[in-house]
């Protein structure tokens, strides 16, 4: 019996199955994270956050809602966090990274739907996700076809969806549409929260979100060191937690961790031996607790030094300007900032290749592992173009889901890839 049972019951969770889920998560975390050697002490905070992932953070949100705040769920980095915070809302990432409730999800979605979509559906239908239950509004977006159609069905179940119409091209017309959609979300948030969004509130919110991005950028830059001062697994976890922790506390704790990593870099303390093959993972996002690929890579001797992903660089690469000459100017700048994101849902999407090359060079990468969730047409298709543009650079294309069924086969491919990378460096 947990201290949170009453809260979970009030949120409508299936208590016996939820207990099983937490047990499974705890064991996975123990096996994947806590067995890593020489972790920075500052990871203690993030371990604590995970140990309380359905406990303390949910209680904080429940209490904040009782005090009048609203929970705003999102599934995509195109949804402007600045607007949510300026409306005194709580920004809650809802993407899920574990296979849960698949049979229930498949009553609404075709089997050949990506695991990320099936998982957020499955968590809801199996009554296992407290985050969805503490939202007052869920903001979706017209990115991939799978999400678009899933949101329709999700609205039938939750009745909470607001869909942002994201264009597919960054043309003048596309930009105009997106700017109008940002304004429409502002209106929706004002209506929901009763809070008037002003340029001053947006400036304050932007500073909070930018501070979080700056801390994530700092972490990313520290990983350029050889040996890298933090494992890819730990860095991935931090990027995952960025989507639901309190942003001010998160930034503070991440900066403290980065102070420690600064010291490690000076003393050349790493988590893997200097010279371990340095890998950039690029592609579909990895929602918590999807640690599969990083775990396979790092237990095969690689150092994952970057994520070209929405749970990674795509989330923190660009800052939003912090000075606004009025509300229209603020909305213009926010809309533009989000259109710098290089998701494969845009056509053309050449900036993504440029960004991959930049990360490869800055992080002194030896090989790129392109990761696409199975049935994700966008990233699977784009992987061919990325491979072509990278020419002879070591490139491994991985298409997988959340199950461990292909783990053995993937490990064999990864080991062969790392061997090839090592030989190439000789
Ligand atoms: S900005 S990557 S968070 S849309 S993996 S559900 S694309 S079929 S998640 Fe994404 Fe926003 Fe783009 Fe980022 Fe569809 Fe592909 Fe599934 Fe995906």
pLDDT, tens digit (0-9, with 9 covering 90-100), for 123-136: 999 999 999 999 99
Q: Which residues line ligand 1 (CB under 6 A)?
A: 76-78, 114, 116-117, 143-144, 146-147, 284-285, 310, 341, 343, 345, 373, 376, 378-379
Pocket test for ligand 1, best of 111, 373, 374, 398 (most atoms within 8 A of CB): 373
Candidate of 378, 382, 400, 402 to mutate for ligand 1, largest count of ligand atoms within 8 Å of Cβ: 378
At 1 the pLDDT is 63
CA-nearest residue, atom 4 of ligand 1:
143
Question: What SS3 state is found at 347?
Answer: coil
Distance 187 CA to ligand 1 centre (A): 25
Contact 181, 166 (CB under 8 A): yes
Tell the residue nearest (CA) to atom 3 of ligand 1.
Answer: 76
State residue 163's pLDDT score: 98
| Mutation pick for ligand 1 pocket among 94, 144, 243, 312 (CB with most ligand atoms within 8 Å) | 144
- Report DSSP letters for 209-277, one per residue: HHHHHHHHHHHHHHTTSSS-SS-HHHHHHHHHHTTTS-HHHHHHHHHHHHHHHHHHHHTT--SS-TTPP
* Cβ-proximal residues to 411 (8 Å cutoff; 6+ apart), any chain: 296, 299, 300
158 C-alpha to center of ligand 1: Å?
Answer: 21
- pTM summary value: 0.97
Place of tokens 């350029």: 224
Tokens describing residue 378: 């966008």
- Residues (pLDDT < 50) of the chain are none
Q: Which mutation among 310, 375, 380 tests ligand 1's pocket best, with the greatest number of atoms within 8 A of CB?
A: 310
Ligand 1 centroid to Cα of residue 3, in Å, is 35
Q: How far is the CA of 319 from the centre of ligand 1 (A)?
A: 21
What's the pLDDT score for residue 274? 83
Q: Which residue's structure tokens are 């067995």?
A: 35
Ligand 1: distance of its center to the CA of 4 in Å? 32
Ligand 1 centroid distance, CA of 144 (Å): 6
């Amino acid at each position: 019996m947990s201290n949170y049972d009453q809260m979970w019951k009030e949120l409508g969770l299936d208590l016996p199955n939820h207990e099983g889920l937490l047990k499974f998560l705890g064991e996975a975390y123990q096996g994947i994270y806590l067995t890593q050697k020489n972790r920075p002490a500052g990871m203690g905070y993030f371990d604590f956050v995970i140990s309380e992932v359905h406990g303390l953070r949910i209680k904080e949100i429940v209490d904040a809602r009782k005090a009048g705040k609203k929970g705003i769920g999102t599934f995509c980095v195109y949804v402007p966090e600045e607007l949510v915070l300026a409306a005194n809302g709580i920004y809650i990432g809802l993407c899920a990274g574990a296979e849960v409730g698949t049979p229930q999800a498949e009553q609404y979605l075709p089997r050949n739907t990506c695991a990320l979509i099936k998982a957020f559906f499955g968590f809801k239908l199996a009554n296992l996700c407290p985050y969805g239950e503490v939202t007052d509004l869920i903001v979706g977006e017209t990115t991939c076809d799978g999400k678009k159609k899933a949101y329709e069905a999700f609205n039938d179940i939750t009745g909470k969806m607001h869909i942002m119409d994201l264009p597919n091209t960054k043309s003048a017309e596309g930009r105009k549409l997106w700017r109008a959609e940002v304004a429409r979300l502002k209106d929706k948030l004002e209506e929901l929260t009763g809070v008037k969004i002003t340029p001053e509130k947006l400036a304050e919110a932007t500073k909070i979100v930018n501070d979080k991005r700056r801390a994530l950028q700092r972490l990313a830059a520290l990983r350029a060191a050889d040996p890298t001062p933090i494992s890819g697994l730990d860095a991935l976890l931090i990027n995952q937690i960025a989507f639901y922790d309190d942003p001010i506390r998160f930034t503070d704790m991440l900066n403290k961790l980065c102070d420690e990593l600064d010291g490690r870099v000076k003393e050349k303390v790493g988590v893997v031996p200097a010279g371990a093959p340095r890998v950039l993972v690029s592609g579909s996002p990895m929602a918590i607790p999807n640690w599969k690929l990083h775990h396979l890579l790092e237990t095969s001797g690689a150092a994952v030094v970057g994520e070209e992903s929405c749970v990674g660089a795509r989330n923190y690469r660009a800052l939003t300007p912090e000075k606004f000459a009025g509300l229209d100017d603020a909305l213009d700048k926010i809309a533009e900032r989000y259109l710098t994101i290089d998701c494969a849902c845009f056509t053309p999407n050449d900036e993504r290749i440029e960004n991959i090359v930049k990360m490869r060079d800055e992080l002194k990468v030896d090989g790129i592992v392109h990761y696409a969730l199975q049935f994700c047409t966008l990233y699977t298709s784009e992987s061919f173009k990325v491979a072509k543009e990278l020419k002879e650079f070591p490139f491994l294309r991985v298409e997988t889901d959340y199950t461990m069924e292909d783990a053995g086969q993937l490990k064999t491919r990864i080991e062969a890839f790392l061997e090839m990378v090592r030989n190439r460096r000789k």
